[in-house]
Structure formats: structure tokens, C-alpha cells
Structure 1
């Protein structure tokens, strides 16, 4: 029988479910836990079951100040094995917490929502079951990473393009969609560009959503809603089932892809930028998400906090912040978007973007040829002294341009290390958790108007600076009507004072966002019991299955 270590104590604060109970754990007694681990070993192989203290501590790490270690980790390799894992959990009343890749940085990482839970890591479900080039879709299992799908398409289906997020090649596709995340391309609303979820319910039953629920349905991979009530949304940001695979939609690689980018040096021009871009999104002229990043977001991707230059003082003074802007050639606001289509469509879109931004900014358009020229200009600019500004600007967006073309890159993860006291070595891990970075995300949603963008920028700046932090912020156009504003609290995990400040800062920022009506589109594990979610918010139409609480109790809603 596998030895069951004593539950690992953590140094963080686990959230409550609003009743004072930590995560709503259904942990049984030690006998039932031991029985469950023995049965899991038989069902999926003892090599894929680990209740050692070392592994529990590893999975209990977090980039955020709140940490919760599991009492074990399971790694099933097929949907059938996931069914067996869930049935055994229900039988023995041991809570399980599924994760796809565990790369939920700043929002809980791979930590469960409460004590007494066993992490079910779906990394071994890493098969790409199908790619259909004619209709533009792929069927991927829960452990398939962005990098794996990208390479598979590049090698076998070069005429197809996927959407990519800034979370790097090792982040999973299904994991991001389970949190309703956003990417960069015309397929950037990833939840609405996926369908046919294969789901294991809490009684071990396996179902499929949409038309996938009907045997031999020819549109199972092609339409989202299906027949009758649409169930896809029930399994995102919930604890109603374990999604083991899904269909994600791809697009034919366009004849031409261009990035447009510009920077504005005046902080007060944020509202004008938003209001100029909104009609282009509403009209469908621009079809991809648009990212509007402040100076600190870009500076943090290039360097770490200048403790030596500030004498250890935090946060940055206005003067030092302005100096860093000049040093790294970034604006107060830095905008990036994509243009896709035929040569004629791209040409017409360029004209429309220039016209809409007249009097606000002058956009630069970048494609493969111009990027190659700019990189050459960048290489000689220090010697010749010409073209430096343009070359620096284009060099800054090179990795973002790759994202627009569907290639996952890791460069944007560097920003998580902003408050590190040691520089990042060239051979350091790209994983913020392994690197020891400290960060907490809050991503409020707001109407896509300049007035609301300015309001949130004021709230975030006031709150973070009052706690000794800098506001790393991006506004992302989810649609022409709404945007989200990912805001990062970066802190030094080795500094107890900064860690405590980060906790207090996040709590105040979360409260102010909710009070202002800027509800986050996703939450970290520490906030899932604080958002006021209830059966009224989540609906009462959940699939009927016994023992729902054995799946991720406390995740988003107390169901």
C-alpha cells in the first residue's frame, strides 16, 4: 500500500467558501484516503500515483502569495482512466482537483482550492486526435500544449493557423479555454471558437457536448451550440466535470498578416486611443484582439526592477519611470493589433486604421519583409546613428508579431520577474514558478470606452502605488463592445514584507473592481469564494450527477 504522508502545511492563506470552511473539502478519514490511493494505483498504475511529501510540496508552490498543497498527485493517461479516477474519488469521498498543465500563473498555478484534495494532472492526455484541413479544426486532449499543436501544424498542415496566447509554448490549450482566456488572432475568443467537449462527470460518466452528444453527427466539430440547451459553458470555470478533450477551430493561413503598432507618450491620451479603435472593432474592420499596454508592461519584459538605481525604494518615482521609458524606447501607451486577409483587404484596412487614428497617433505596419529590414537597421543603428527609433519599436514587437501569426513564444513571461532582486540568467527556466517569480493577476472587464479605461487606470494606479507596487497593465479589446484589463501585482517572493503587501493590495484592488462594476472575467483560487457566485449566478441546469463536491470543491461556485 502507498504510504500516505501527513498533510503538508503551507505558508499561504487558503480562501474560504464564504461559510468559513476551507475550500469545502470532502476529505475522508485516513483509511478511506489510503484505500483510494491503493485503488488509483491499480487503475492507472502505481508509477502515475504519488503521495510523497516532496511532490505535494512541489504542487503546493505558487507564484501568488496564497498556496495550498495537495495530499497527492494522479496522472491518468486516457479518458477511461480519468473516469476510473473520478469513480474511485466519489466512492471514497476524497476530493480531486483537475489541472491541464498547471501553468495558471498568478491565479493559483496548480494549487487546489482547499486542503485534503488530490491534484489530477492531465499532462499525459497529450494526443492530437485529429486535424481537418478542409474544415479547419483540431481535436486535442487536455494536456496538449500550444507549442505541440503549433509544431504539429507547422510540420504537417502549414496552411492552417492556430490562435496563441502569451503564456508560452508549454501552456495547454484546454486549460486556457477552461478559464475562458483570450489570445491574439481573429480566433482570440477561444471559448467561442471551441466545441464538442468530452467531459467526465463526477459520477464517472463520460458525455460530449453540442452535436458531439449525437452518434455520427456530421457537425460535431463544426457547430458549438448543438441541439437543446448549450452545455459548453457549464464546464468552464466550474467544478461540474473534467474536460478531457475538445475541438478547437483553426483558420486558413491568410495570404497576408501584418501587425500595426504605435506608441503615445502622453499618459492622458489613453481614452482617445480606446475611442479611436472601438469603431474599427465594431465595424469588423479589425477582427483580432488589440492590446494596449502601459510603459511598465513593456519595460518589465526587458529588465527587472532597478533596485540598485533607486536605493531599494519602491515604487518607482515618476522621474525614474520616465527615465526607463526613454531608455527602453517605449511610450506611455503601446498599441499592437493584427490585420489579416488578402493583399487588397490588408491595404484597405491599413488606410482605415490610419484614418481612424488621425490626430491620435501614427501607426507603423509590420510584416515579414519590413521586420527583416528593421532588424538589420537595429543591428547597425548604434554605429550609423539613423533609424534607431523605428528599429527599436519594431524590435520591441517582434515576439508579439509572432503571436499574431499563431506562434506561441515565451518572451512575454519575462515580465513576471519584474520585482526579482537578481537578474535572470540566460539559461534560467522560462516558467515563472520554477524561476521563483511573484505575481498576482486581476483581469477586470469593462465597456470599451475611453471613459471606463481611464477610470480603471486611476483605480489600479492609486491602489498599487499606495501599497508600494507599480501598475503593470494592459487593455485588451475582447470585442468592439468590451475589453478586459489584465493588471499585475509583481512582488519579491523572498521578501516577507512585499508578500504581505501583495496580499493586502490584491484584496483592496479586487474589492474596488467589484464596487466599480468591473467584474473580473476569471479569478485566482484565493478569490473564488469572494465573488458572490451562487446557484443564481451559475444556474440550476447542471447535469444531474451524484457527489458533485468531489470535483474541485470551492472552484468558482459552491456547487
Structure 2
């Protein structure tokens, strides 16, 4: 079946019928249907007068046991639950559910750091613990461990990790450092993954694999279960660290830099998640457009030259972290310098810090490399001065070559020029691949501007897929479209996901449509065409 208007009406009716049972589990005070609460749990960058997806109400359980009871009630009544932690997945749809009228299952009351093991370097957290809160917990209690933070530290550690989010220390690929989960399935059953499946295990969070398949990945970017606790390895605090910046004044220099850094990433000279940011990914976090020009026309090359002159930045700016003994970092920095000597206009700047440096002693632009929480990127939303600014994120993955970076940059420029819009752009490097992070702003109070931006983003997704690049993550609006691009053997991967979905969740009630995975009576909406259809 498809999600028809009748099913949406039925969903709201079922939610109403099930409410008393939910209240008996969590208490009436932990169920919210007042307008401000419903507004908070929609897509914050949707048009407020015409929101695409609105919950019937919001449930906030306080324990794993309450979640077990909630999913059993939801399965009986066939009420779809859209699960979120902090609910700050902004740029990707926020807390909104894919099926209008779903009940939002928000886990903000589950906010404990359950364990910190300094000897083995891991933490165990509940869903709502944010990066800022975890960092404060480690600092306040004197642990010699670092957090690893994404660009915005207000989000959930667990939520970001489950969505394949990244940070910028050597522990920046968050999903790679998960070790042991507790998961509630759609029938209320409770499972622990890895070595934690042994009830008396002493190494639930020390060793990532158990007996049989490793299941942690199955619950990332999926809707197969609700993760209620998660072990995550944390980086031991180094003796010292360096923030190394390489500024390049031309696009060609950026592409050469990508190729120059690849051997140093592959051999481990550079261990952190290197990011190469465009000028327009940095300047809008520090200034507003009116500081540079009087209109909203795209920034010109002349304005970019003025920006470089006033800020000392390049057209592209690589952020590299080095960690450990100062003598070792000196050698590593020299290796980086030697690798870029052939690149015209590439200049290297570095700053060294103690491992136990206080956050206020670190320059804001260097903080992410030490796992220090920062919210500066949010300033990007002030660039145009609109009252209700939205943004949509675009994130293809490509091979780690300058030529691939060039192709993706030129594609993004062409499409953003077509709608007359500035954008922020960065490449996040791994030893063999890189992700593009692109952030495109729109006036969310202007329905035409919102739709134009979404249509453009959909075209980017299709065109980059035709070039062989797939998205690593997607906005709620584009999950089905992105799933379409993974088309080998008639979308065999999606068909496999939906076989698993139907086996574990036959009613299809857990976050239907997340990552384009549908089940039960819920499948791709037929009468609710997306902006980009």
C-alpha cells in the first residue's frame, strides 16, 4: 500500500485512540500536543505557514522499559513512531516524521552519561546526551579523555553517530568507534549487540565484534530498532596538539592539495578528519552579507578578493590536526610542508597547544580539532538577514582525488548560480574518499524560494549520482530519491532493507520512510508529491 490521504487520516485516528495507553506508561505530563511543542518537533527550516509533516503529538519516555511498552502499544494500534534524540537534525528535516500525523518519540528525558572508563577509553551514553554535555562531563570530572565533536555541539552524541555524522579529531568517523548497543525492537524485545549479548560480559565496550554478525551497523541509518544506550570509544588526551592550516588562493591549488594530502592520510602521517573549507564556508560564520555588498546577488570574484585580503583566508582552507609529542609533530608538519611545496599560492600556518589546554585558550577556528564544543557554524543562518532562514544540506561521497573534487565543485557552482544563491562548501577527507558538505540557504518564509532550492538540490542528487557519486546522508524530503540512486540489480539493497524491516517490524511502525525504508502498510507516498517531483 502507499501512504494515501485515507491512511494519514487513519494514523491520526489511531494515535488518538492509543493516547490513553501511552499516558498510562509515561504520564500525561510527558505527552505534548500544544502548538509550540508541535512546532518544535517539525522541520525548523520548513515554511511555518505550510509545514510538510506535523506530529499528532510528542511522547517523551524516561527509560528503556517505557520505550518497550510504547512500541508494543504502537504495534497493536498501528501508530507510526518517529524517533529522535535531541531532535536537532537540522538541515536534514529536524524532528519531523516522514508520515504526516506520526507520533514523535522524543528521547530528551534519557539524558545520562552511564559510564566513563578512562583506562580503556570509552563512554556509555543515553540518547539525549549532547556533545557539549559529554564534553562538560569529562572536563568537570577530570577525565583524560576527549570528546570528538561535529560542527554544532548541541546535537546528540548518539543521534549524530547513528546518522554517520563526523568530527575532526582522529576519532572523527564516529560510527567507526561504536562499541556495544542496547536496542529495543518493534515488538518490545531488548537486545544488546557484540560482546554485550553475553549477560555477564566484562568487555561489552572493549571489543566491537561478538559471536556471529556484527549488528551495530544494522541500527545506523535505519529504522529497524530504537537504540537506548551506546558505547563509544573516546580519544585519550594527547601530550600536545597542533592546528595546521593550509590556505590556497585558487581552485586549482585546492585540487592539487587534495592529491598532495592523500599519501599522508593513507600512511597515517595525518590521522584526523581533514576538512578543506571554501572561503564562503567560513566568512558567513563571522560576518553578514551586508558587510560586503548591498544586495543579495551572488558574491563576485572581486568581493572574494576583498574577503581574502581582510580575513587572511584563502579561497580554500585546509584544517589539519596533529597530536602527540612535540618532536613527532614537528616531523609530521615538515612532511606536510614538503608535500605542498609545489603548489603555487599554498601557505601553511600552525599553532601548538598543550593537551590539557582550556577551551577559552584555543582560537575558535581551531577548537574542533581538539573536540571542543562550538556553535559558530549556526551564524551562517544570519548571512542574508532573513527572519526565517532555512538551509538544506547536500553530501555526496567521492574518491579522494583533486579531479573528483573539481567535478563536484563545478557541478555545485553551476546549480547554485542557476538560482542565484551563495553556498558554503567543504571537503572532509578520509584516506581513500571524501565527502562534500554543502550548505545552501533559502528564505523559508518564501514558499517559492524554498521550492526552488529543493528542486535544485534534487537535481544535484540525480546528476551527481549519474556521475557515480552517492549521498552519505539525506534530508527527509530526499530520502526516497537518494534511495532510488542506489539502483544496482533493481535496487537490490533497498529490497534487502525492506525484507529486514518487514521481518523485524511487520506493522512498519518504527520511523516509516527513514532512509527510504518502508514496511507494513506504509510505503512511498503516492498522493503527497515532493517539491522536486
Q: TM-score, length-normalised on structure 1?
A: 0.85
User: How many angstroms does 1:548 deviate by?
Assistant: 4.8
Following the alignment from structure 1 to structure 2, what is the Cα–Cα distance between the partners of residues 245 and 30?
Answer: 30
Please provide the CA RMSD for this pair. 2.4
Pick closer, same or farther for the CA change 1:541–1:34 going to 2, 3 Å: closer
Given candidates 479, 483, 493, the residue that maps to 1:528 is: 479
User: How many angstroms does 1:368 deviate by?
Assistant: 3.0
Equivalent residue number for residue 322 of structure 2:
339
Q: What is the SS of the residue equivalent to 1:484?
A: strand
Q: Which runs of 5+ in 2 are unaligned?
A: 520-533
Following the alignment from structure 2 to structure 1, what is the Cα–Cα distance between the partners of residues 292 and 324?
Answer: 47
Q: Which moved more, 1:52-61 or 1:205-214?
A: 52-61
Report matched runs for 1:317-396 at 5 Å: 317-360=300-343, 361-368=346-353
Q: Deviations over 1:226-275 (max 9, x none)?
A: 22111111111111111111001012100111110021112221210100
Following the alignment from structure 2 to structure 1, what is the Cα–Cα distance between the partners of residues 401 and 46?
Answer: 31
Following the alignment from structure 1 to structure 2, what is the Cα–Cα distance between the partners of residues 543 and 198?
Answer: 21
Matched, 1:492 2:477: no
Following the alignment from structure 2 to structure 1, what is the Cα–Cα distance between the partners of residues 209 and 444?
Answer: 44
Q: Which runs of 5+ in 1 are unaligned?
A: 1-18, 376-394, 423-435
Pick closer, same or farther for the CA change 1:178–1:325 going to 2, 3 Å: same
Pick closer, same or farther for the CA change 1:109–1:364 going to 2, 3 Å: same
Pick closer, same or farther for the CA change 1:546–1:450 going to 2, 3 Å: closer
Q: Which moved more, 1:71-80 or 1:352-361?
A: 352-361
Given candidates 138, 144, 165, the residue that maps to 1:159 is: 144
User: How many angstroms does 1:178 deviate by?
Assistant: 1.2
Given candidates 404, 411, 432, the residue that maps to 2:369 is: 404
Q: Is the 8 A contact 1:26 1:95 kept in 2?
A: no
User: How many angstroms does 1:535 deviate by?
Assistant: 5.5
Q: Deviations over 1:279-321 (max 9, x none)?
A: 1100011110001001100111112223x86453422233233
Equivalent residue number for residue 257 of structure 1:
241
Report matched runs for 1:145-544 at 5 Å: 145-168=130-153, 170-306=154-290, 310-360=293-343, 361-368=346-353, 398-421=363-386, 436-477=388-429, 479-531=430-482, 532=484, 536-537=493-494, 538-539=496-497, 540=499, 544=503
Given candidates 46, 53, 59, the residue that maps to 2:28 is: 46
Q: Is the 8 A contact 1:101 1:175 kept in 2?
A: yes
Matched, 1:111 2:96: yes
Equivalent residue number for residue 426 of structure 1:
none
User: How many angstroms does 1:60 deviate by?
Assistant: 2.1
Equivalent residue number for residue 508 of structure 2:
549
Q: What is the SS of the residue equivalent to 1:107?
A: coil
Q: TM-score, length-normalised on structure 2?
A: 0.89
Q: Deviations over 1:30-70 (max 9, x none)?
A: 65322311111110111101123442233224225674111
Q: Which moved more, 1:28-37 or 1:289-298?
A: 28-37
Q: What is the SS of the residue equivalent to 1:91?
A: helix
Following the alignment from structure 1 to structure 2, what is the Cα–Cα distance between the partners of residues 43 and 160?
Answer: 37
User: How many angstroms does 1:441 deviate by?
Assistant: 0.1
Following the alignment from structure 1 to structure 2, what is the Cα–Cα distance between the partners of residues 243 and 496?
Answer: 36
Q: Is the 8 A contact 2:12 2:101 kept in 1?
A: no
Q: What is the SS of the residue equivalent to 1:552?
A: coil
Q: What is the SS of the residue equivalent to 1:490?
A: strand
Q: Is the 8 A contact 1:51 1:72 kept in 2?
A: yes
Q: Is the 8 A contact 2:184 2:191 kept in 1?
A: yes
Equivalent residue number for residue 14 of structure 1:
none
Equivalent residue number for residue 35 of structure 1:
17
Q: Deviations over 1:55-102 (max 9, x none)?
A: 223322422567411111010011111111111111111100000111
Q: Deviations over 1:487-539 (max 9, x none)?
A: 11112223344323212221221221211121110111001111226563455
Pick closer, same or farther for the CA change 1:455–1:153 going to 2, 3 Å: same
Following the alignment from structure 1 to structure 2, what is the Cα–Cα distance between the partners of residues 271 and 521?
Answer: 21
Pick closer, same or farther for the CA change 1:29–1:474 going to 2, 3 Å: closer
Pick closer, same or farther for the CA change 1:142–1:288 going to 2, 3 Å: same
User: How many angstroms does 1:202 deviate by?
Assistant: 0.9
Given candidates 55, 60, 63, the residue that maps to 1:75 is: 60
Q: Is the 8 A contact 2:42 2:93 kept in 1?
A: no
Following the alignment from structure 1 to structure 2, what is the Cα–Cα distance between the partners of residues 58 and 408?
Answer: 23
Q: Is the 8 A contact 1:293 1:473 kept in 2?
A: yes
Pick closer, same or farther for the CA change 1:118–1:46 going to 2, 3 Å: same
Aligned residues: 502
Q: Deviations over 1:372-425 (max 9, x none)?
A: 9xx9xxxxxxxxxxxxxxxxxxx9x92232211111111122123323347xxx
Matched, 1:56 2:38: yes
Q: What is the SS of the residue equivalent to 2:260?
A: helix
